[in-house]
Chains A and B, each alone.
Chain A
Amino acid sequence: MAEFVMPALGADMNAGTLLQWLKQPGDVVSRGEIVAVVHTDKADVEVEVFTTGVIEELLVQPGTEVPVGTVLAMIRENGAPAGPAAPPQAAEEPAPPAAAAPTAADAARPHVIISPSARHLAEELGLDPASITGSGPGGRIQRKDVEVAAAARTPRVREPELRAEPAPKPEPVAEPKIAGPPAAAPTPAPTPPTSRPVVPSAADERSAAMRRAIAASMSRSKREIPHFYLGQTIDMSNAIAWLAQENQRRPVTERLLHGVLLVKAVALALREVPELNAVWDGDELVRRDDINVGVAISLRGGGLVAPCIHTTDQLSLDELMHSFRDLVSRARSWSLRSSEMSDPTITVTSLGERGVESVFGVIFPPQVAIVGFGNMVERPWISEGQVLACPVVSASLSADHRVTDGHRASAFLAAVDRLLQEPDEL
């Protein structure tokens, strides 16, 4: 049984509204055929299937908005027996749309190299193979990789596996109906599933959906945006000296990281080069008044998000620090707000903590620029004829050549540099 899911029809699409079914249960469909019309922020889109078979069941009613990845219909593939899909699921009611999830059956996704046994295990555990790193030849995912990925889930996620068996009478912590049955039921447990076992699968599906969103967005970026790249090495002596002094008088928990100086400098520099604080609206540049710097945050399970700190340029360093910590912790617990996801006007990415010295980012559409910072390292630095050991950071700018050019972009990096030389003004 194959799942027909709400596709990601654009880089920034998180959900879509099913407008109309063009097929009914029992209808034969073939790969490539249009079966539904979906409304997105941009347009009404005809959606095709990637499976040849017979529509078994429509799970979402017209007019319903559902997240990307939600199962819209079940399609019985040619040759597959009629009736309920996988035996473990047979006893369950049809999955409510919001809880159902895409699986490997989604033919639109890239082929993941995974051993059959590992695939089976991943399905049992509700892990998306696309989110697992393979250790075998050619990156093939093996059982142990799935086990590692499962173990890496948060304790909250692992708990239900431990709790499911001994509990003869599940505590009424939550109504089972809220989250619905897991997409791929774990090994049948003696007790009826509470809502808890759903957590891993939901989280992993989010992670998989995110990977797809990244793929779509980055592909679109490289397809549509004529990137150009500038790099500049910035002397951080003043900034670091000031920061050391500043931090000395602060309690440990209130200390600043040099990263907030970088983010603040970017925000202030944008005031001077406002065309970089903008989005590309199909055929023209739309400048944004608010400077909302997005910060790329990598997630432990793989993938990343780049939520913004609103009005970055107007916040004090303390406020920035708090916002940043808050953002990271909420990003990693999947509780970002939609405005944080939709409002960034530029993105800052830093791989410094990984030791990388320079990063040239891919612009996150519809933004028009991304700023990259590398690791802060000590390097010989010549100043007034003298060689000094200075902490330096490599700053880069990837910009959209449709909306700006090297001259203006240089001015931006120069402004960042200048601002960082006067840290007490930040």
Chain B
Amino acid sequence: MGTIWFWIVAAMLTIYVVLDGFDLGVGIVYLFVARDEQDRRKAMHAIGPVWDGNEVWLIAGGGTLFFAFPLLYASSFSGFYLPLTIVLWLLIVRGLSIELRAHTHDSVYKTLFDATFSFSSLVLAVFFGAALANVIRGVPLGPDNYFFLPLWTDWRTGPNPGILDWYTVLGGVLAGLALALHGLLYLALKAAGVLNTRSTMLAKRLLPIVAVITLASVPATVIARPASLEHYQQHGIAWLAPAMVVVSLATIAISLARGWEWRAFLGSCTYLASMLVGAAAGLYPVVLPSVGTAGRSITIDEALAGPHAVRVGLVWWAFGILLAIGYTVTVYWLFRGKVPEHAEGYGH
């Protein structure tokens, strides 16, 4: 039962990253690829109908984490108190920037909201990456299963880490770049014209950088947390994830060269999903590793809610998630295709 819930939560958070990832990515590259008002509107319209629904995957994933693994939720959310609160503030700024931009005629305010939208998207992506890297590296759990991390200490992994050290910064940079690529591929898919060519061109340049850092992240992870390799050796099937990472990077490269927009974007979705699944496989059956000696790592079994709770949960969850997938597919279907070129009737 614990294993099922582990993968359910991992899957929901993965879907969140894949979906919200592209609208965060659009935010990151927005100022560079969408230079004039027409293109900026187009970029906004490409994510407009879906970004809020994408964010719901974070809320629902968080809620599911809460009820399936209360101990993990309690320990990690209070331990990462400051960065999480900053994430919340950024989500507020970002949501409002998107909303307010659509409300105003004034070019000064538009410039302001463009900047806050782009800035908050970038910092959010970096924070999410750093957060994941923190979980992989481990935290200094105390005997009571709690911890509290300062923002930084000496920038080294080891028994006295901070939220930011060389490894988590690497994770943040990789997330920022990977989501930027994801956003570019989404824009290329959804937009025609200048926006399309510019996005494609930038994606071609970004891809090798993402590939190199991805490669570098493997030895980095082994240094930061040697145990992750053991998990891989115990469960041979886990090697599928890194294999898929390589395949998907190759797919993106080939598709970009041939101009296959759909395949490039799907490749990027697969890339993100395989990275996350790979990270989860490296953790399993631990959910929050401990560094230092004071406490032990939190495992699935320890964190899992009571047996009856998780059993009834499975029933309604399966039912509810089918509905949710139904809504998500419907919305994407309704707003399929390229954002139309001539947005007549806009503004004024």
The answer to whether A and B come from one shared complex is no
Residues in A lying within 8 Å of B, measured CB to CB: none
